[in-house]
Structure 1
Amino acid sequence: MLKRLANPDVAKAAANIVWLGLERLTQIAVAIAISGLLARYFGPDVFGKWQYANTLLLVLAPITWVCGAEILVPTIVHRPPSELGVVLGSAFVLRMTVSALALAATWIGIAAGATDPLVGAMLAGLAVTMLFREPFIGVINSWLQSMTYSKPQLMTSIATALVKAGLVYLFVRVAIAPAGFGWLWAAEAAVIGGVLVLYYMRRHGGTLGWRVERPLLRHFASAGTVFWAGLICMYLFLKLDRLMLERAISFADLGRYSAAQQINENWIALGLMLAQTIAPAFVYRVQDLRHLLRNVRRLIVLAAALMAVGASVLDLLASFIITRVFGPDYEGAISIFRWCVWLSVPAGVEAIGNLVVLKYQAKYVLLAKWVLALAVAFAVNLVAIPRIGSYGALAGLAAGYLAAAAVNLYYIRLKLQLRT
C-alpha cells in the first residue's frame, strides 16, 4: 500500500478523490438544504414547476456540450504543453458559439409561450448558466482533469455552494418571487467561471494565451459530433422520467417525485465525478491491456460497493430526510426516495465501464448505448407510468441503466478480455 501511495499518479488521484468527496458531501448537504427551503416556500405545485424548469435546462444543456471532455481531455493529455492554448482556445470558441445560440433559442421559445408561464420565467434565468458552464468552467475543468488535479474547481464549487445556500435562505426570508431564483443559479455559474479563469491565468503568466486554430476547430466540431449526439441521448434518458411524468401527474405530485430524485441525483453524481477524476491516471494513460482490464475490474467493484453502502444509508434515513427537510406535504416522496437511491448502483457501474468506451473513442458504441437506454426507458415508461405512476418512471430508469451497463460490459469483453 505504501509503495502504491508513493506512486505520483496514485497519490495525486487519492488527493483528488478526497477533495471530490468533500465537494460531493457539501453539494449533497447544500442540495438538501436548498431543496427543503424551496419546497416549503414554494409548496408542492410551484416546487414541481421549479423542478420541471430545471429538467428542461438539463435537457437543453447537452446542446452546448459539443467537443465534450471525452474529446478534450485525451487531446490535452496527448498534445505537447506548448499547444495547450490552441486546444483550449479552439474548444472555448466552439462551445461559446453553440451556447449563445442555445440560450437565444431557449429565450425565443419562452417568449413564444412554449412552456407554462411560471416555468418559462424560472427557465429564463436558469438558462443563462449555459453561457458559463461549458465555455468557461467546462474548458478549464478539462485542463484540470488532464492533470488529475480538480482541487481548484472543487474548492470553488464548495465555496459558491455555501454562499448560494445562504442567499437562497435570504431570498426566502424576503419573499423573492419564484422566478427570481433562477438568476441566482446563473450568478453562481458566472462566479465559478470567473474564478477558474483567474486561476488559469495565474498559472500561465497572467494571460490566457488562448488562440483559435481553424483546423483544430473543425476537428473538434466534427470529431465530437457522434459523442455529442450520444450525450444528448444520455441526458434525455436521465430526464425522460420527469418529461413523461409531467403529462401523467399533477405538478404537485411531480414536485414530490422530484424532491426525492434531486437528492438522489446528487448522490449518483459522485460516481460520475469519481470516474472523471481517476480516468487520466488509471484508464487513459494505461496501455497494457492486462493492466487496464485489472484496473477496470477493480474500479467497477469499488464503484458498486461505494454506491451500495451509500444507498443503504440513504434508504435507512429516507423518512427522516423527507419529513424533516421537505415537510409533511412531501411524505409521498419517502417510498419513492427509498427505491430511487438504489439506481446509484447500476449508474456507478455504468460510469466506470464507460471509461473504456471513452478511452478508445468508441463513439458509435456510446451513441448506440444511449439510444438503446433511451428506447428501453421510453418503452418501459410508456407501459408502466399509466399503471403505477412515479414507480413506473423509476422502473424505466432502472431498465435503461441496466441496458447501458450491459453494452459497456460487452464492449469491455470484446476490447480487453478477449485480447489478453
Structure 2
Amino acid sequence: MRRQVASNLAWMLTERGLQVAGGIGIVAMLARGLGPEGFAHFQYAQAVVYIAASVALICGGEVVIPRLVANTDPAAQHRLVVHAFGLRFGAGVLAYLMIGAFMLVTQQGPETWIPALILGIAVLLREPSGIVTAWMQSHTRTRPNAVINISSLIVKAAVVGLLFWLGNQSVPAYAAAISVEPILAALLLAQFYLSRAPKTPVNADAGLARELFSNGTLFWVSFMLMMGSRRVDQLLLKPFVSLSEFGAYAATMQILDNFVTVASILAAGIAPMYVYAQPTLAQARRNIARIAVGMVAVGVMGGLIIAISAHWIIQLLYGSAFASAAELLQLAAIVSALVFADVGLTLLPVYMRRPQLVAIKWGIVFATTIVVDSIAIPHLGARGAILGYAVANLLAIAFGIAIWLRQTQGTPAPHGAKA
C-alpha cells in the first residue's frame, strides 16, 4: 500500500512539475509570437475564462471522492459519477454563457471576445470530465490521469510551437491551440471511464443531485472567490492602462503563477504525513507553524532570486518587447513570498475540516483586491495592482495567524481526521 501511495504521489508531482515547465515555455511562445498588444488581448480573454471557470467547480472532489471511497459497489459509483457529471456540465454551460454575457456588457472588441469564446470551450469540458479524475483518485489510481494530462500538454505545446515556428500572430489561432489540451484530455478521460464503467442505464435522481449540490456549495463558493481574487486584478487594470503595460503586468503574473505553484506542490507533499496524520490538534499546530516558516523561507529565497534575475528572465522568456515587465516582476516577486505563508497557514482549517474558514479567507482576499485595486490602479497603474496583491495576501496571512492563535494546545484532533 505504501509503495502504491508513493507511486501515486510521484506521478502527481511529476505531472505538476511538467505542467509548470510546459506552462512557462508555452507562455513564452505566446508572448513572443503575439507581441505585447496581442498578448494583452489573449491574457485578458484568459482572465475572463479563468474566473468564469470557477462556476463549473461545483460538486468537487472533496464531495465526490469520500462517497466513492465509502461505497465501492460499481453500480452505485457509476450512478454517483453520472449525477456529478450532470451538475458539472450544467454549471459549465452556465459559465460559458456568462463569458458571452460579460463580453457583450463590457463591449469588448473581436480581438478579445473571439479568443474568449474559443478558450471558454475548456470550461465546458475540463471540470465535467474531471469527475473521472475524482473516480481514479478514489481507486488510488493517479497514473492514468497523469499520463493523459501529460500527453495532452505535449500535444498543446506542439501545436503552439508549430504556430510560433510558422510566425503566426493570430490571437484566435493561439486560443484554438490552447483549447486542444482540454478537448483531448476530456476525450481520453471519457474513453478510459466508459470502457470500465457498468453498462446499466442510470435514472435521474433529483434528490441525489440536490444532496451533491448542497454538500459542495461551501467548497464551490470558496473556489469561486479564490479564482476570482487571482484574476479580477486584470479585469480592473485593463481599462486604465495601455495594452503594452497590461501585457507587461500579465507577463509578470504568469511567471509568478508558476512560481507560487511550488507552494501548493510543497504543501501537497508535506501535509499528508506531517499535518493530516497527526492525532492531536496541538501536534498539527506545531508542525503547521514549522511548515509555514519553512515555506516563507522558500518563498523569500525564490522571490529574491527572481527579483535579482528579473531582467534576464524577461529577456529570456519574452524578449526585449516586454522589457518594462522587469521592474514589475522585481516588485511582485518579493511580494509573492506572502503566498507561501498563506498556503502553509491554510493547512490548519483544512486539518480541522472547517471549510467555512477557508471561504471567509478568500472572501476577504477577493473584497480587498477589488477595493485596493479600484483605489490604487487609477493612480499607479500596474503597480497599483501589485499593491492590491500585497495587501490582500497580508490580510490572508493575518487571518491564518488569528486562526492558529485561537486554537488551544490540548484540543484533540477533529473527528475522522486522518491517522
Q: Does 1:165 align with 2:157?
A: yes
Contact 1:90 1:211 in 2 (8 A): no
CA distance in 2, matches of 1:280, 1:52: 36
Q: Which residue of 2 aligns with 1:5?
A: none
For residues 268-321 of structure 1, the C-alpha deviation after alignment (integer angstroms, 9 at most, x for no partner) is 223235445666666556554344335534543453344344334433432222
Q: Which residue of 2 aligns with 1:80?
A: 71
Residues 1:20 and 1:349: Cα distance change in structure 2 (over 3 Å): farther
Q: CA deviation at 1:20?
A: 4.0
Residues 1:361 and 1:294: Cα distance change in structure 2 (over 3 Å): same
CA distance in 1, matches of 2:30, 2:218: 38
CA distance in 2, matches of 1:294, 1:13: 25
Q: Which residue of 2 aligns with 1:300?
A: 292
What are the within-5 Å matches in structure 2 for residues 56-95 of structure 1?
Answer: 56-77=48-69, 79-82=70-73, 83-95=76-88
CA distance in 1, matches of 2:262, 2:200: 30
**Aligned-partner residue type, residue 386 of structure 1:** P
Q: Which residue of 2 aligns with 1:330?
A: 322
Match of 1:262 among 250, 254, 266: 254
Q: Which residue of 1 aligns with 2:392?
A: 400
Contact 1:59 1:235 in 2 (8 A): yes
Match of 1:220 among 194, 212, 216: 212
CA distance in 1, matches of 2:137, 2:336: 23
Contact 2:280 2:411 in 1 (8 A): no
Residues 1:176 and 1:28: Cα distance change in structure 2 (over 3 Å): same
Q: Which residue of 2 aligns with 1:375?
A: 367
Contact 1:74 1:284 in 2 (8 A): no
Superposition RMSD on alpha carbons, in Å? 3.1
Q: Which residue of 2 aligns with 1:185?
A: 178
CA distance in 2, matches of 1:282, 1:15: 19
Residues 1:12 and 1:55: Cα distance change in structure 2 (over 3 Å): same
Contact 1:89 1:211 in 2 (8 A): no
Residues 1:125 and 1:155: Cα distance change in structure 2 (over 3 Å): same
Secondary structure of 1:81 counterpart: coil
Residues 1:244 and 1:220: Cα distance change in structure 2 (over 3 Å): same
Match of 1:103 among 79, 91, 96: 96
Higher relative contact order (CA 8 A, sep 6+): 1
Q: Which residue of 2 aligns with 1:136?
A: 129
TM-score of the aligned structures, taking structure 1 as reference length: 0.85
Residues 1:371 and 1:208: Cα distance change in structure 2 (over 3 Å): farther
Secondary structure of 2:59 counterpart: coil
Secondary structure of 1:397 counterpart: helix
For residues 41-67 of structure 1, the C-alpha deviation after alignment (integer angstroms, 9 at most, x for no partner) is 222112111111111111111111112
Residues 1:169 and 1:331: Cα distance change in structure 2 (over 3 Å): same
Structure 1 gaps, min length 5: 1-7
Match of 2:356 among 356, 364, 382: 364
What are the within-5 Å matches in structure 2 for residues 13-92 of structure 1?
Answer: 14-77=6-69, 79-82=70-73, 83-92=76-85
CA distance in 2, matches of 1:91, 1:43: 41
Q: Which residue of 2 aligns with 1:3?
A: none
TM-score of the aligned structures, taking structure 2 as reference length: 0.85
Q: CA deviation at 1:35?
A: 2.1
For residues 122-162 of structure 1, the C-alpha deviation after alignment (integer angstroms, 9 at most, x for no partner) is 1010001011111112x233344456653333333333222
Match of 1:353 among 331, 345, 370: 345
Residues 1:276 and 1:328: Cα distance change in structure 2 (over 3 Å): same
For residues 151-175 of structure 1, the C-alpha deviation after alignment (integer angstroms, 9 at most, x for no partner) is 3333333332222122112123162
Residues 1:408 and 1:142: Cα distance change in structure 2 (over 3 Å): farther
Secondary structure of 2:120 counterpart: helix
Contact 1:45 1:252 in 2 (8 A): yes
CA distance in 2, matches of 1:344, 1:147: 36
CA distance in 1, matches of 2:139, 2:274: 12
Q: Does 1:252 align with 2:244?
A: yes
CA distance in 2, matches of 1:216, 1:364: 23
Q: CA deviation at 1:265?
A: 0.5
Percent identity over the alignment is 26
Q: Which residue of 1 aligns with 2:416?
A: none
Structure 2 gaps, min length 5: 413-419
Q: Which residue of 2 aligns with 1:231?
A: 223
Secondary structure of 2:239 counterpart: coil
Residues 1:45 and 1:18: Cα distance change in structure 2 (over 3 Å): same
CA distance in 1, matches of 2:136, 2:223: 21
CA distance in 1, matches of 2:336, 2:136: 26
**Aligned-partner residue type, residue 403 of structure 2:** Y
Give aligned pairs, total: 409
